[in-house]
């Protein structure tokens, strides 16, 4: 009997041993999940953040560089703070923020590092680095923030900031982690994949207390970070700085384009702000201040503000009429002020005179012939057909839809269609007398300053344009810019019709914009006074120069500044002079613009 019991015990022990040995075999040989868990507890992964790519202007002047900052990291298990008041004084941190950040670190992990104080500047770090040795569980991680040597072009360059939860959820690349910085606007956002670089990582062995014990596997798994690609922008820094100076104390926009390439030479949204204030530890505080500013400096006017084009649109009407055979250079109308108001000039006038003198009644009558072509005997139906045909022609000029500039947030403006008026007045209940204000660029029509600058480029190029863009090379390679910026877009208007238009635009300066005339450079331009029901009208001017070989096309909007021949034309002419000659030889005109006393 005892022999049987001994056998049972022996067999049971043998089975248990067999099971344990089998499990041990599975753990150590077959299943590596336990090994991975053990390594995860023993290995600390330290991310090596790459430097963001630099940004230069078209002449290789530096626009954006990286400034090192320091995050003070804490390992909660090791950190023991006996004198909180002294620590706060030494490290320049509020007690409430210290407690909040330390509690967040404990919640994340007791043995893994978390940020305790973020974005310590070089100057601040120099004052605290000698005290770090007195506190266990603290170490410094170097990062970088953007810095702007000329404090210019904030609306084009944009800014970076800490990624938020919703952006992390949308990150299909799985590149970002909580606390990373990402481009939030401007070219910083549009070219984020090129600018951000590639992260590296170092793996360190730590014990159960989180104390570093050396490199994991002798550093064989460590990887180096790769810096982001440098960008060469299309901006001319000298022109940008000068334009921002001219727009000080004003609200409005300036956009200048190189017509033959679509490269944006300057893009100004006034009032401007110093991009350096949206960097570093005070980003949130400064952003909130800018966001609450009633002057709306964060509102990117060149691509977001929408205004009636005003009289500038008369040139588009002229080209459509010429192309359709409805107008000829000799088409003549009287300046009938009973139709719409106008200033004094010779009457009747032909097309050249209508452009030169910006005759409102001329375009009231010309637009009627463009719209009502007697395609239908029903005047309401005929107007509907004519308006939609006209709209198709207008959109070929890059109006009524986004052009596709390489920054996010662009608005497309509005070119009204028959559907819009059907919604407003009812189908079959509106006709030409309802929409005649479109003839002079008013009514329900809206454009952006970028679109107006592109119009100037179209007039300079005699019928085509390239999509306006802000970057001309990525990583030093011009061929890497998006293909859409190399594509030529045509308006469908024959180039022969632009000869008269260019001559009339040159003559228009002596008619409505004499301040813009330059002694040795022929400028072709057109003024506009965009009606503003909320206050004084907006001053508008577009131009290109030199007339025979255009190198710059420009649009200027100065809000609430009255006639286009004053504020806008003067500002544009100075910028043309600055770009083409490199200096200003009209100090009185410059003084007039800087003073900003435009309202009549």
- Within 13 Å and on the Cβ side, how many CA atoms surround 460? 32
User: Lowest-pLDDT range, 100-114, 175-189, 448-462, 512-526?
Assistant: 100-114
Q: What is the DSSP code (8-state) at residue 27?
A: I
What is the rounded radius of gyration, in angstroms, for the C-alpha atoms of the chain? Answer: 33
Instruction: Read off the pLDDT of each residue in 473-497 and give the average, rounded to a whole number.
Output: 96
Average pLDDT, the chain: 89
State how far the Cα of 491 lies from the Cα of 58, in Å rounded to an integer: 28
State how far the Cα of 203 lies from the Cα of 217, in Å rounded to an integer: 8
Nearest in space to 512 (alpha carbons), one of 439, 445, 452, 562: 562
Residue 39 pLDDT greater than 50, yes or no: no
Cβ-contact 544, 550 below 8 angstroms: yes
Nearest in space to 145 (alpha carbons), one of 89, 253, 64, 215: 64
Q: What is the DSSP code (8-state) at residue 271?
A: S
Instruction: Read off the pLDDT of each residue in 19-43 and give the average, rounded to a whole number.
Output: 59
Instruction: Read off the pLDDT of each residue in 527-553 and give the average, rounded to a whole number.
Output: 87
Phi and psi dihedrals of 554, rounded to 5? -140, 145
Q: What is the pLDDT of residues 365-404, one digit of tens each?
A: 999 999 999 999 999 999 999 999 999 999 999 999 999 9
For residue 446, what pLDDT is reported? 96
Residue 91 pLDDT greater than 80, yes or no: yes
Position 168 confidence tier, pLDDT thresholds 50, 70, 90: confident
- Within 13 Å and on the Cβ side, how many CA atoms surround 361? 19
Nearest in space to 486 (alpha carbons), one of 471, 467, 473: 467
State how far the Cα of 178 lies from the Cα of 182, in Å rounded to an integer: 11
State how far the Cα of 176 lies from the Cα of 192, in Å rounded to an integer: 12
Q: What is the DSSP code (8-state) at residue 297?
A: T
The alpha carbon of 233 is separated from its chain's Cα centroid by a whole number of angstroms, namely: 13
The alpha carbon of 175 is separated from its chain's Cα centroid by a whole number of angstroms, namely: 23
For residue 225, what pLDDT is reported? 87
State how far the Cα of 83 lies from the Cα of 92, in Å rounded to an integer: 14
Q: What is the pLDDT of residues 220-263, one digit of tens each?
A: 778 888 999 999 999 999 999 999 999 999 999 999 999 999 99
Nearest in space to 501 (alpha carbons), one of 468, 555, 455: 455
Alpha helices by DSSP H, listed for 426-545, are 432-435, 449-461, 498-512
User: Could you tell me the end-to-end alpha-carbon distance of the chain, in angstroms, rounded to an integer?
Assistant: 123
Nearest in space to 499 (alpha carbons), one of 366, 399, 360, 352: 352
3-class secondary-structure state, position 233 = strand
Residues in the chain: 600
| Dihedral of the alpha carbons of 415, 419, 421, 423, in degrees to the nearest 10 | -130
The Cβ of residue 264 has, within 10 Å, a number of other Cβ atoms equal to 29
State how far the Cα of 237 lies from the Cα of 152, in Å rounded to an integer: 8
Q: According to the per-residue pLDDT averaged within each range, which of 179-188, 507-516, 562-571 is highest? A: 179-188
The proportion of the chain whose per-residue pLDDT surpasses 70, expressed as a percent, equals 92
For residue 270, what pLDDT is reported? 96
For residue 599, what pLDDT is reported? 54
Contacts of 89 (CB under 8 A, 6+ apart): none
Nearest in space to 544 (alpha carbons), one of 471, 465, 486, 600: 465
User: Lowest-pLDDT range, 90-104, 147-161, 445-459?
Assistant: 90-104
Strand ranges across the sheet with 552-558:
263-270, 252-258, 552-558, 538-545, 524-530
3-class secondary-structure state, position 267 = strand
Strand ranges, E, within 424-549: 464-466, 471-474, 488-490, 524-530, 538-545
For residue 49, what pLDDT is reported? 84
Classify residue 53 as exposed, middle or buried by CB count within 10 Å of its CB (0-12, 13-18, 19+): buried
Q: Which two tokens stand for residue 76?
A: 């909660």
Q: Which two tokens stand for residue 288?
A: 């909130």
Nearest in space to 424 (alpha carbons), one of 444, 440, 449: 444
Cβ-contact 280, 123 below 8 angstroms: no
Position 24 confidence tier, pLDDT thresholds 50, 70, 90: low
Place of tokens 């395609």: 375
Instruction: Read off the pLDDT of each residue in 8-16 and give the average, rounded to a whole number.
Output: 73
pTM of the model: 0.87
State how far the Cα of 218 lies from the Cα of 38, in Å rounded to an integer: 18
- Within 13 Å and on the Cβ side, how many CA atoms surround 538? 26
Contacts of 526 (CB under 8 A, 6+ apart): 311, 312, 314, 315, 355, 358, 505, 508, 541, 542, 543
Position 600 confidence tier, pLDDT thresholds 50, 70, 90: very low
Contacts of 313 (CB under 8 A, 6+ apart): 440, 441, 445, 447, 528
Phi and psi dihedrals of 469, rounded to 5? -150, 160
Classify residue 225 as exposed, middle or buried by CB count within 10 Å of its CB (0-12, 13-18, 19+): middle
Instruction: Read off the pLDDT of each residue in 307-311 and give the average, rounded to a whole number.
Output: 90
Q: Give the pairing type, strands 231-233 and 55-56.
A: parallel
Residue 306 pLDDT greater than 80, yes or no: yes
474: left (phi over 0), alpha (psi -120 to 50) or beta: beta
Helix H or strand E segment including 390? helix 379-395
State how far the Cα of 561 lies from the Cα of 250, in Å rounded to an integer: 9
Instruction: Read off the pLDDT of each residue in 509-532 and give the average, rounded to a whole number.
Output: 86
Residue 562 pLDDT greater than 80, yes or no: no
């Amino acid at each position: 009997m005892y022999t049987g019991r001994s056998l049972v015990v022996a067999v049971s022990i043998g089975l248990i041993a067999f099971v344990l040995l089998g499990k041990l075999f599975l753990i150590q040989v077959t299943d590596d999940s336990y090994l991975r868990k053990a390594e995860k507890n023993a290995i600390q992964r330290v991310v090596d953040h790459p430097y963001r790519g630099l940004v230069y202007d078209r002449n290789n002047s530096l626009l954006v560089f990286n400034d090192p900052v320091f995050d003070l990291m804490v390992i909660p298990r090791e950190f023991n703070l006996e004198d909180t008041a002294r620590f706060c004084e030494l490290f320049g941190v509020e007690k409430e923020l210290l407690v909040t950040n330390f509690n967040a670190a404990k919640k994340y992990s007791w043995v893994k590092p978390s940020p305790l104080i973020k974005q310590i500047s070089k100057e601040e770090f120099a004052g605290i680095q000698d005290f770090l040795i007195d506190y266990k569980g603290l170490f410094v991680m170097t990062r970088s923030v953007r810095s702007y040597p000329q404090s210019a072009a904030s609306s084009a360059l944009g800014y970076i900031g800490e990624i938020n939860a919703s952006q992390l959820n949308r990150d299909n690349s799985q590149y970002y982690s909580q606390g990373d910085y990402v481009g939030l606007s401007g070219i910083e956002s549009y070219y984020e994949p090129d600018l951000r670089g590639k992260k590296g990582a170092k793996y360190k062995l730590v014990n159960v207390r989180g104390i570093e014990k050396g490199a994991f596997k002798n550093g064989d798994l460590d990887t180096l970070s790769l810096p982001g690609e440098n960008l060469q922008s299309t901006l001319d820094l000298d022109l940008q700085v000068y334009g921002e100076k001219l727009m000080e104390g004003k609200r409005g926009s300036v956009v200048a384009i190189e017509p033959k390439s679509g490269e944006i030479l300057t893009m100004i949204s006034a009032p401007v702000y110093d991009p350096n204030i949206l960097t570093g530890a005070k980003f949130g505080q400064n952003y909130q201040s800018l966001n609450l500013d009633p002057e709306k400096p964060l509102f990117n006017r060149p691509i977001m503000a929408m205004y009636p084009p005003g009289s500038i649109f008369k040139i588009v009407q002229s080209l459509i009429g010429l192309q359709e055979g409805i107008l000829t250079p000799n088409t003549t109308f009287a300046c009938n002020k009973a139709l719409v108001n106008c200033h004094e000039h010779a009457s009747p006038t032909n097309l050249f005179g209508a452009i030169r003198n910006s005759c409102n009644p001329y375009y009231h009558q010309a637009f009627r012939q463009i719209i009502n072509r007697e395609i239908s005997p029903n005047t309401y139906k005929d107007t509907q057909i004519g308006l939609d045909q006209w709209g198709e022609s207008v959109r070929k000029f890059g109006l009524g839809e986004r052009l596709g500039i390489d920054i996010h947030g662009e608005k497309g403006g509005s070119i009204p269609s028959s559907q819009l008026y059907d919604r407003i007045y009812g189908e079959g209940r509106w006709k030409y007398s309802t929409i005649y204000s479109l003839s002079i660029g008013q009514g329900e029509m809206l454009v952006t300053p970028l679109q107006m600058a592109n119009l100037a480029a179209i007039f300079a190029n005699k019928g085509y344009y390239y999509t306006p863009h802000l970057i001309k090379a990525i990583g030093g390679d011009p061929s890497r810019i998006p293909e859409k910026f190399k594509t030529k877009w045509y308006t469908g208007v024959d180039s022969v019709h632009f000869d008269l238009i260019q001559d009339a635009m040159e003559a228009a300066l002596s008619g409505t914009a004499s301040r813009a005339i330059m002694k040795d450079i022929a400028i072709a331009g057109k003024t506009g006074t965009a009606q503003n029901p909320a206050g004084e009208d907006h001053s508008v001017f577009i131009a290109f120069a030199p007339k025979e070989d255009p190198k710059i096309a420009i649009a200027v909007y100065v809000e609430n500044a009255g006639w286009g021949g004053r504020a806008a034309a003067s500002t544009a002419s100075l910028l043309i002079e600055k770009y083409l000659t490199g200096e200003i030889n009209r100090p009185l005109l410059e003084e007039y613009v800087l003073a900003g006393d435009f309202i009549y």
